[in-house]
Chain A
Amino acid sequence: MDKDEIGGRDDSKFENNSESSISSLHPIEKKLLTALRLVEADWITESDLVKRSELTVDQLRRGVEWLRYKELIQVREGTEFKVYLHPDISDKEHLVLPERKLVNIVSKGVNKLSEIIKSEEFKGNEKEVFGAIRFCKKNNWVSIIDDKVTILSDSHDSSSEENFIAKLNKTKSMLESLFDKEDEKAYESLKKRHNILITEKLVDKKYRIAQTSVPLVDSLLLTGDKVVRKMTQDVLVSGKWRDLIFEQIDVEAPLPLLNYGKKNPLVDFIDEVKEILVGMGFSEIEGNLTQSCFWNFDALFIPQDHPAREMQDTFYLKSQTDLHSPLPQDNSLLQHVSKIHRKSWQYDWNIEDSKPYVLRTHTTPVTLQYLSEGKPEKDKVFLIGRVFRNEKVTFKHLVEFHQVEGIYVNEDANLRQLIGIQTEFYSKLGIKKIKFWPTFFPYTEPSLQSMVYNEKFDKWIELFGMGIFRPEVTKPLGIKNPVLAWGGGFERLAMLRFNLNDIRELYSNNLTWLKSVPKCLS
């Protein structure tokens, strides 16, 4: 890959570049140095250098940067002033300064000051006349005795100001750096006077070979038939390499990044958390994203008129043909759930309201199905999967996100163990400061929520909820022992992990971001 395809370069890498390491030149560098070498020690402006080197401005600037760090060239970032006649002057060609006007009037015979002031030319402008007198005297053009003005012989010569204006009329503009002594004098005088000159500041870079590096540049520019830049297959096979000298290439320049394959950062983080859970003795389970209301709500002791079941919060699914979610084969399960709802909430549980399909609002229906199938007396399982909420998407809410959930079933499972499991899990994620508050979930009792302290934001953040499944939930499934359950949104953890303020970033699939997240994150 050639260096001129490199985009931004990190300048800091070049700071301590020693002379001995300069051993090769890029073609751009060669062109620049050749052009600069031709003018010996003179400074060349950028535009001049573009012409001479036949490079584009971009190439030139890049090459200049490289050469500068190698200390082969010098750059002068001088400021320059461009001087030209004020655009308000209508007839620049025939611009007559007041002092000349005065001389002209006097030479026509009007020599009394009072008359001069009243003259056609000065129209009573005393100020202008006195100014004119001041400059005439300076130029030694007139002498004034009492009220009478007399012309002197020097007045036949043009003043330096007049010469300067004439020059400007010819060249349109002049650079201050190119002034001679006379110009400087005239310029100093004229720039104090109103509306005659405009001075424009130009920033201009100029380049020349660093004078101490001339011998090195000359040797670097040396070329010949025997010097080659690259090894080739032909050179190898023909054995030509025996007679060749290889240019020393730049071995330090950074190069463009390669295209690469990579796991999605969120998936990668999910994997890490899975490893932690597996290490804690949890086994992974999986299940459908589409669920019946029965599994998503009824089995979780959520009454059929509960606000969470409304369309505003939950996605109900439909199709051109009717959809019928399969209810559990086990009829006793349905009856049991129905009975518990009727008894506890005192309403007519309706099997029809259990049938619609929803996108699961949590991963718990999958856990329940697992429990219902295996009816374990002791077990430890987890899952991480997508869940859905009918919410407006904002920087902290997504319609679709991941939830992590785990359960521990055992004869002696208890609330303090649930706190213990959470504490251990958080500590493996590097979270040490945790507190637990009571809260409410329809399907767990007692229920807790965990608050974790985030040092970066210096605040407590609500993370996972947890509790012991209510007997109203476990009994119909045929589970006798307490089930400790915990879980919550995974993206919240991911935002802490990836330092994001906007949750949407995780799903934006912005390739720059995806590439920028390092595989190993400290």
Chain B
Amino acid sequence: MPVVNVRPSLLSKIFSERTLDEIIEKLPYLGLDIEGIDKINDKIRIEFNPNRPDFSSENGITRALKGILNIELGPPIIQDLRPSLGILRVDERLKDVRPIIYGLIAKRDFPITHEELTQLISMQEDLHNGLGRKRKKSSIGIHNYDALTFPLFYKGVPRQIKFVPLDGNKEYSLDNILTDFEVGKKYGHILEKFDIVPILLDSKDNVVSFPPIINGSTTKVDLLTSNLFVEVTSVNSKSAMDILSILSFELSDMGFDLYSLVVSSPFCGEIVTPILEPHRIQLDFDYINKILGLELTYDEILVCLQRSRCEGIDKGNGKLECIIPSYRIDLFDKVDICEEVAIGYGIYNLEPSYPSSYFLGRKNSQSIIFDKVRDILIGLEFMEIINPNIISKNLFKNVFLEDEHSGKQLISLGDSKNTEFDILRSSLIPSLINTFSNNIHEKYPQKLFEIGKTFFTTNKEIRENWSLCVSIAHNTTDYTEIKSSLESFMRYCFNAFVTTPRYEAKYFLPGHSARIVLNDEVIGEIGEIHPQILENLNLRTLVTIFEFNLSAVVKILRLDQIRIV
């Protein structure tokens, strides 16, 4: 989850009537997780959920706190957008590359402070990673307004074009930037398949930015900058508009006056951005009470909404129109409004209630059967173990001595962070023998069993079976002992008889292994493990084993139709 740093000193200043502890106590009730409080460095680390990118700055957090602490109710006031100071034209050639660009201009009479710049940059990073999907969907450029001249041109150009990138000391071609710069390597893949790439030029043909990679050097924002130009380029207009809204409220909170930008695009005509119109959602106010299990009056609901920095209008007939500031991009359905009411009401005020309807609970038949299987095996002195479904190919090969087992194709994992997890197991045998190998210092005899899933493919689809694997390790275990265990188990658990026709496999001692057949159907195999496998797994004791398809047994014996009498 993304993290934002908030200064406790700032909180104490804004909410001077409250102690810091009281303020901090409220944070979780806004859906914020406190990661750590560092009073010495004046820092609270707060985790926020990705659906609330407006929480990616101090101002965003205090905006919400003001509501829940009754300091400011209703939507935050944002000054009217001042008329356009600039025009931006979009090149038709960017249609399939990155067609959308929105922007705004923010002005004030004193320069941006170091703290504000830090907050803005960290917010930009969070928006890039979240809503921007690591810049793939949208990316933001923040520039010194005074260093550029309108109108701007968002243009598709060949990769040979050169310019001086941010913090660079000479001109580089776009291609160079993509291959040599850190940001180029990281985000270059976004432009990979295009010959034409986007750049933003001002009227004097200075490169303002090379989205979504890097800004130009001429419009760099520093501590002398007091007027900003913000652009968002994107492949998705909603994402771009959402980001711009969030930035608008942030800049407004910093005391900037916002001016609009006119974007003239061959794809969507002329559009004035940002669009800060609140969203509106209409719903029955009974619905809110029904979902929350409360009996709030209309006025109470209204206050709850206001504490969540929204507003409500009575539309008559029990209808309520909820007005949502445009930075709240996470609210788009009736249920979202219910949650805002709950947060405004205070989750801690929700008393538990208990459904009165009667339901008869029961385990499913499979659990009931598996329990009985366990009972019998435990009675036969076997100890249950559990292993992961994902095993390493290495272990698989060490046990089965080839890439396949019974002709079943392996199912492997696309990209695992752990080398010991590669493939889905098609048999429980490898992990079970591995368990013996991990317990060589324990007392013998060791008698283990596992009930687990096995995986194989038919017709390009994956099938899953429950499998039972039972194994014995000690110095004199042999086919007779394991077969006696198998027969005892089948007899005591199912009153069933199996036959064991001869069958050879590389991992069994020749002449000491068989298939397990139940009612003419092959369900598994049994035998003495081949010494080569024991050696592969550093075992110095003998191992005998059987495994069969438990799902098949359930089907053959019709055990899933549970009869009590």
**Measured between alpha carbons, how far is A417 from B343 in the docked complex, in Å?**
17
A442 to B52, CA, bound (A): 12
Check: B229 CB closer than 8 A to any chain A CB.
no
The answer to whether the Cβ of B412 comes within 8 Å of any Cβ in the partner chain is: yes
- The tally of CB-CB contacts under 8 A between chains A and B is 263
Interface segment among B15-23, B171-179, B184-192, B381-389: the answer is B381-389
A98 in contact (CB, < 8 A): no
In the complex, A174 Cα to B339 Cα: how many Å? 91
Question: Which residues from chain B contact A261 at a C-beta distance below 8 Å?
Answer: 377-384, 447
Contact between B358 and A439, CB atoms less than 8 A apart = no
**Counting CB contacts under 8 A, is A507 at the interface?**
yes
Residues 361-404 of A at the B interface (beta carbon under 8 Å):
378-380, 386, 388, 390-393, 399-400
A262-B378, A262-B383, A317-B462 known; A410+B355 contact, CB < 8 A: yes
Q: Chain B nearest CB: distance from A229 CB in Å?
A: 27
Once A290-B455, A307-B133, A323-B461 are accepted as A-B contacts, the answer to whether A509 and B362 lie under 8 Å apart by CB is no
A interface residues, tally (CB under 8 Å): 94
Task: Name the contact of A399 in the complex, choosing from B137, B330, B388 (C-beta under 8 A).
Answer: B388
CB <8 Å contact, B453 and A514: no
> Taking the complex as formed, is A471 at the interface, i.e. its CB lies under 8 A from any CB of chain B?
yes
Given contacts A261-B447, A448-B347, contact A320 B364 (CB under 8 A): no
CB contacts (< 8 Å) of B291 on chain A: these are 414-415, 446, 468, 482
Quick one: which of A386-443 are within 8 Å of B by CB?
386, 388, 390-393, 399-400, 408, 410, 412-417, 419-424, 435-440, 442
Contact B438 A509 (CB under 8 A): yes
B50 at interface by CB-CB < 8 Å? yes
* Contacts of A299-329 to chain B: CB distance below 8 A: 305, 307, 311-312, 315-326
A259 to B327, CA, bound (A): 66
Taken together as a complex, chains A and B put the C-alpha atoms of A261 and B382 apart, in Å, by 4
Is B115 part of the contact surface with A, judged by Cβ < 8 Å?
no
CA–CA, A324 and B364, complex, Å:
29
Does B255 belong to the interface (CB within 8 Å)?
no
Q: Is B385's CB under 8 angstroms from A509's CB?
A: yes
Per-position binary interface string of chain B over residues 388-426, scored 1 when its CB falls under 8 Å from any chain A CB and 0 otherwise: 111000000000000000000111111111100100100
Q: Which of A148-156, A164-172, A281-289 interfaces with chain B?
A: A281-289
Which residues of A sit under 8 angstroms from B358, Cβ to Cβ?
A: 281
Contact of B460 among A323, A413, A423 (CB under 8 A): A323
**Which A residues between 171 and 212 are near B, CB-CB below 8 angstroms?**
none
Q: Is the CB of A344 within 8 A of B332?
A: yes
Q: How far is the CA of A410 from the CA of B291 in the complex (A)?
A: 11
A507 and B387 within 8 A (CB) = yes
Instruction: Look across to chain B and name the residue whose beta carbon is closest to the beta carbon of A400.
Output: B388
A435→B52 contact, CB < 8 A: no
**Are B447 and A259 neighbours in the complex by a CB distance under 8 Å?**
yes
Q: Report the separation of the CA atoms of residues A259 and B380 in the bound assembly, to the nearest whole angstrom.
A: 10
**Is B49 in the interface zone, CB < 8 Å from A?**
yes
Q: Does B484 contact A (CB under 8 A)?
A: no
**Would B386 and A509 count as touching, CB distance under 8 A?**
yes
Asked whether B413 lies within 8 Å of A317 as measured between CB atoms, the reply is yes
- Decide if B352 touches A416 in the complex (CB within 8 Å): yes
Chain A neighbourhood of B457, CB < 8 A: 319, 321, 323
Q: How far is the CB of A36 from chain B (nearest CB, A)?
A: 34
Q: Given the complex, which residues of A lie within 8 Å of B359, measured CB to CB?
A: 281-283, 378-380
B475–chain A nearest beta-carbon distance, Å: 14
B386 touches A266 (CB 8 A): yes
B354 touches A420 (CB 8 A): yes
Residue of A nearest to B370 (CB): A267
Give min CB distance, A52 to chain B, whole Å.
Answer: 34
Tell me the complex Cα distance, A410–B356, Å: 11
**With A259-B447, A281-B358, A283-B361 in contact, do A317 and B366 touch (Cβ < 8 Å)?**
no
- B residues in contact (CB < 8 Å) with A: 28-31, 49-52, 133, 136-137, 236-238, 290-294, 330, 332-336, 338-339, 342-343, 347-348, 350-355, 357-364, 366-367, 371, 374, 377-390, 409-418, 421, 424, 435, 438-439, 442-443, 445-447, 453, 455, 457, 460-462, 464
**Shortest 5 CB-CB distances between A and B: which pairs?**
A414-B293, A416-B293, A281-B359, A440-B49, A261-B378
